[in-house]
Structure 1
Amino acid sequence: MPRGVRLGYGSGSVATGTFGTIPGLMLLPYLTDSLGIAALAAGFIVFAPKAWDVVLNPIAGRISDRTVDSRGPRRPWLRRAGIALAITFALLFAAPSMATGLEALWVLVVFLACATAYAFFQVPYVAMPAELTESYDERTRLMTWRVAILALTILLAGATAPIIRDAVGGRDGYRVMGVAMAVLILIGVFSAYAGTRRAPVHTVEPGAGTLRDQLRIVATAPDFRRLLITFVVQAVAFGAMLAGVDYLASHVLGRAGAATVLFVCFVGPALLLTPAWAALGARIGKKSGYVASSLVLTVGALLVATAQSAPAGLVYAAVVLVGVGYAGCQVFPMAMLPDAAAVDARRSGSSRIGVYTGVWTAGETLGLALGPGVYAAVLALGGYRSSTEGAVAQPDSALTAITLGFSVLPAALVLLSLLWLRRYSLTADDVEGDVTV
């Protein structure tokens, strides 16, 4: 595939990376430390709109499967939904001063609108690789570009968002940050739309039957199901770690700019090591590479458990190790997903790619939403104190909860996820060879 198409497709990760990162990183602290909403209630607000996507994403996939347009079935949705996503995102952190309950309602409703727009952008976007190329290895190369740009976006957005917030200060800081991130989303939307205008599209006829029929068929695909469960459980772990960055930096490390440093340590390795993980996967297989990267991440997360007593430098080094594993944990499942969808398309002669990716992104969204929710529950169990005046002194039990929620909990979830990955069996021969029913 031409390099321009790879770059154009990958640039869509600027939008997905920004939306996937900033609410998980900033929304929970915004609710607890700026709006004064209790940790459990804040966790529900972060979780509920994304849980809605679990229902909506397969529907968005089905709709994009059946879209007929000279630009291709997916590209029109990139622009339509992408613009709506940017507008609603700018409003998310712009709640006017009202009673606490009304402010919470504002965030809940606007975040629901954000999640709806994101579903109609993300699902068609993720579905595109299975239609852009029929090559097993080319999909890995395509995902390498996507993950590299995703890592750069996460680094840029996640590192600058706290800086913008702190430079302006208070609730205005959150408002300015929200607008800046919305502009970044628009850049990704229009870059992906323009960059894929000359992309080849290999299509098969949309699958027959109702959405329920197709979901039932997808649910019976054993390799896809095992891969999906692995990915979702790991998404819960990543969501918890992302939600914990600001709390670990403010309350445990207590250093100015620590949130930005932690984020750079977490995401930075992906910029350098994504091609290395892809090369390793080409040698040992995608599944083996996925297991290896998961184990590296687990070791790093367990080392972070020493954060309350260890020097800050050691904590940063442990988070770098987490980032090394995280890079692989993004490359491999996203390269394995279109393989599973392509095998189904070859067997059946009809396309359920949109349904596959709809279920996939629904699972990812659910996992990333559950992560902050679970982390908020851990904070509540530790007696975390919410405030409208920014970070306040916390009891020792809350500091322990902040640390364990960022370290031991994610490590345990990643190890648990590998139980399902053990039986995943698709290889290059299955994907590119003749498939019989």
Structure 2
Amino acid sequence: MSDASGRLPRSVRIGYGSGSVATGAFGTVPGLMLLPYLTDELGIAALWAGLIVFLPKAWDVVLNPIAGRISDRTVDPTGPRRPWLIRAGLMLAGAFALIFAAPDLGAQGLEAAWVLLFFVLAASAYAFFQVPYVAMPAEITSSYNERTRLMTARVAILAFTIMLAGASAPVIRDAVGGRAGYRVMGLVMAGLIVVGVVASWWGTRDAPIGAVSAGAGSLREQLRIVARARDFRLLLTTFVLQALATGCMLAGVDYLAGDVLDDRGAATILFVCFVGPALLLTPVWARWGERVGKRRGYVVASLVLAAGALLAVFAQSAPAAVVFAATALVGVGYAGCQVFPMAMLPDAAATDAARTGENRTGVYTGVWTAGETLGLALGPGLFAVVLALGGYVSSEGGSVAQPGSAQTAITLGFSVLPATLVLVSLWWLRRYSLDADAVARAEGAHVV
């Protein structure tokens, strides 16, 4: 339970944040490893590989609002969200391990179908874990600033997980080698997901449970109401475009390391450079945001991220150290670009609940996570299109010298493309108006 000042116990903040171990592993590893697995291990053409990566995420776009609606109406002594954490989370881990466990079926089509099937199953389970998980902050605290503190713990753990999973997954693959390397990597990452699932389910057992009743009407009616929420719509558009940018960069890491920097081991260094600053600066972003406001903090963080991405355009000619520095600058901005929108989302959902007396938090977060999923899915797909346009040559486990056009495509897909997407997203963010005073007026309470 929260104390009189509105602060949640540290155990609840850390317990809630632990769920980011699961979301971080599933959000990072397929985006980093699945496209290279399909193009360089199974020999599938880049465009087809991009489609396989995209389709399960596109399915999630449809499923996430449904998952939110179902969790809104779940009746359980522990609240409407927590039961889904353990049920869906464990299913997610099992399906994830099987994505990279395709046996040698003797035909690329069958092997591609295996990956697609288990990726769809994993994405479905993820929807029923992620949507209730993201919905919880709007219900367990009514404090504008406490939601930022809650997101600080979550993003710090998320950053650590991205570094751990993103840096270790290529190392595990390369240490074992071949398909067996991908299988072992998949099992290890599935175990990491289990740790996050169980920790978040157990760690939130003492969290407050919201008492607002579920919204009436059909899912279509609920979605229509959410779509009319102006500030939520502006925030979502910004976040989706930035998720698309992040998806492009994640998909490009392995290609940038191996084909441009000519060092597969550089993928791990790139991830450390990306996440290391985020681990250190997430609390700094949060404290600064409390002084200047979440929207302004989000704008500045976005500009820093875009600047780092643009600097990486020199990857083909500059020393590797320049690329690593650019990636570190991206990491500085990325930390803020996670803290602020994740803290702004529950403001929008809770404001609606306070105004109407009905709980549409699950629908809000279902739409939000659907948008995020779409962006992260389109990112690798868009990067695959860039690869195809650059003449990238796929292979079945062997090393292939890529033409200069492919190296240029990799560099632009990792730098200029995501930077442009981030800068464009600010057109919508600048019109967002739900500040601390607006939230307080809507909820009928003083800001803590």
Scaled by the length of structure 2, the TM-score of the pair is 0.96
The structural deviation recorded for 1:392 is 1.1
Amino acid at match of 2:74: T
Matched, 1:17 2:24: yes
Q: Which amino acid aligns with 2:390?
A: G
- Please list every run of 5 or more consecutive structure 2 residues that lacks an aligned counterpart in the other structure: 1-7
Counterpart of 1:64 in structure 2 is 71
1:320 partnered with 2:300: no
Shift of 1:325: 0.5
Residues 250 and 391 in structure 1, CA contact (< 8 A), matched pair in contact too = no
Residue 211 of structure 1 aligns with which residue?
219
Q: C-alpha separation between the residues in 1 aligned to 2:177 and 2:335?
A: 32
Matching residue of 1:89: 96
Question: How many percent identity over aligned positions?
Answer: 74
Of 41, 62, 73 in structure 2, the residue corresponding to residue 34 of structure 1 is 41
Structure 1 segment 236-255 matched on structure 2, within 5 A? 236-255=244-263
CA deviation string 1:216-270 (max 9, x = no partner) = 0000000000000000000000000000000000000012510000011111111
Residue 393 of structure 1 deviates from its aligned partner by 0.4
Q: Does 1:187 align with 2:195?
A: yes
Q: How does 1:366-385 map to 2 (within 5 A)?
A: 366-385=374-393
Residue in 2 that maps onto 1:48: 55
**Is the 1:10–1:147 contact (alpha carbons within 8 Å) kept by the matching residues of 2?**
yes
1:358 maps to amino acid:
G
Counterpart in 1 of 2:317? 309
- 1 CA distance for matches of 2:322 and 2:420? 21
SS in 2 for 1:433: helix
Task: Report 1:157-236 matches (<5 A).
Answer: 157-236=165-244
- Distance, in Å, in 1 between the alignment partners of 2:43 and 2:219 is 42
Is 201-210 or 399-408 further displaced after alignment?
201-210
What's the offset of the Cα at 1:431? 1.1
Q: Does 1:127 align with 2:135?
A: yes
d(CA) in 2 for partners of 1:76, 1:110: 23
Q: Deviations over 1:5-48 (max 9, x none)?
A: 00000001000000000000000000000000000000000000
The correspondence for 1:404, drawn from 386, 390, 412, is: 412
1:144-159 equivalence runs, <5 A: 144-159=152-167
Contact 2:350/2:443, CA 8 A, preserved across alignment: no
- Of stretches 281-290 and 250-259 in structure 1, the one that deviates more from structure 2 is 250-259
Q: Which residue of 2 aligns with 1:289?
A: 297
Which residue does the alignment assign to 1:420?
Answer: 428
Equivalent residues of 1:82, 1:117 under 8 A apart: yes
Conserved? CA contact 1:57–1:362, under 8 Å: yes
Q: Is the contact between residue 214 and residue 352 of structure 1 (CA under 8 Å) also seen in structure 2?
A: yes
Give, in whole Å, the separation in 2 of the partners of 1:341 and 1:103: 42
Q: Could you tell me which residue of structure 1 aligns to residue 277 of structure 2?
A: 269
Sort the Cα spacing of 1:406 and 1:70 in 2 relative to 1 into closer, same or farther, 3 A. same
2:432 is aligned with 1:432 = no
**Structure 1: distance between partners of 2:263 and 2:347:** 45
Change (3 A) 1:430 1:399: same
Rounded Cα–Cα distance in structure 1 between residues aligned with 2:26 and 2:399:
24
Question: Which ranges of structure 1 fall in alignment gaps of 5 or more residues?
Answer: none
Alignment equivalent of 1:364, drawn from 361, 367, 372: 372
User: What value does the CA root-mean-square deviation take over the aligned residues?
Assistant: 0.8
Task: Report if aligned partners of 1:294, 1:415 keep a CA contact under 8 Å in 2.
Answer: yes
Q: Which runs of 4+ in 1 moved over 4 A?
A: none
Alpha carbons 1:207, 1:352 under 8 Å: kept: yes
* Residues 208/40 of structure 1: CA separation in 2 closer, same or farther (3 Å cut): same
Correspondent of 2:340 among 332, 337, 345 = 332
Contact 1:39 1:379 in 2 (8 A): yes
**Normalised TM-score (structure 1):** 0.99
Q: Is the 8 A contact 2:351 2:442 kept in 1?
A: no
* Pairing partner for 2:81 from 47, 54, 74: 74
Partner of 1:389: 397
**1:4 to partner: Cα distance:** 0.3
Paired residue secondary structure (2:201): helix
Shift of 1:200: 1.1
